[in-house]
Amino acid sequence: MNTDFINSSFFQRFRPHHQELRKRVIKGFAAIALSTALAYLFIDSLALLCTRPLFEAAPTLERLVYTKLTDAFVSYIKLALLTGIIVSFPYLLYQAWMFVAPGLLKEERIIARRIIFWSTGLFIGGALFAFFIVLPKVLTFFMSYGGENLIPLPKLSLYLTFVARMVLAFAISFEIPFLMVMTIWSGLVSRDYFKTQRKYFYIAIVVLAFLLTAGEVTATVLLAFPLFILYEAGIFAGRIFVKDQSVG
């Protein structure tokens, strides 16, 4: 590596920020690891919670199966990790805030706090909406195909992957207002951009919902309609939080 660059004033100015970022990233990974470890201590209860909607959707179903010796163990690890990420998400945002806050003005800090608060709420709200509202309806639909000549035998690993994918898809998708406000606030687009381009984004939302739910029509519809509402909420939030901007 070029020693002149290392000793340059630019590198020396960046080094404190690099060390601060490194510290925040380490704390974030530590929070995920700790939350995952704690979640694994209650993995049986978590697995029971995740499988309850399936058994309620199909009362005749007695148990799940696994066909490889490692399936159950790996599935439980994935479930614990997903739980750890969701639980530690507010702390991860806090670490991001602590890294950015020193460089913000007072008014910008107030806006950033609001954004972090609402983005956390949207993430958790999306996960809860997926698990308690969408998942039971989707499972009821798919399990209704079972009958005398067709017996469903869900595999543990595939079922937990299905649940995790759906919960994360909704949790991430519920961040749309947050991303819209950040885009307007950064000056990349004007406040009216998302309003004027609404029809194109609606089409994109349908495509995104279709991809996130792996082409499952029922889940696509149940994801797309809340995203339409969140998109409109993003337009409204952008006009509130970024009052002085008129040009992107």
What pLDDT score was predicted for residue 246?
45
Q: What is the CA radius of gyration of the chain?
A: 22
What pLDDT score was predicted for residue 95?
81
What pLDDT score was predicted for residue 134?
84
C-alpha distances in Å from residue 160, one per residue of 73, 106, 130, 203:
12, 44, 14, 30
Please measure the distance between the N-terminal and C-terminal CA atoms of the chain and give it in whole angstroms.
40
What pLDDT score was predicted for residue 112?
67
Q: How many whole angstroms separate alpha carbon 188 and alpha carbon 192? A: 12
Q: How many whole angstroms separate alpha carbon 94 and alpha carbon 171? A: 18
Residue ranges for the chain with pLDDT beneath 50 = 1, 5-6, 10-11, 14, 246-248
Tokens of residue 94, six digits: 């806090």
What pLDDT score was predicted for residue 93?
79
Q: Comparing C-alpha atoms, which of 81, 99, 90 is closest to residue 33? A: 81
What pLDDT score was predicted for residue 243?
64
Long-range contacts of 41-44 (CB under 8 A, 24+ apart): 43/76, 43/79, 43/80
What pLDDT score was predicted for residue 189?
81
Whole-model pTM?
Answer: 0.72
What pLDDT score was predicted for residue 40?
94
The amino acid at 101: A
Q: How many whole angstroms separate alpha carbon 78 and alpha carbon 182? A: 31
What pLDDT score was predicted for residue 45?
93
Matching residue, tokens 């909406």: 129
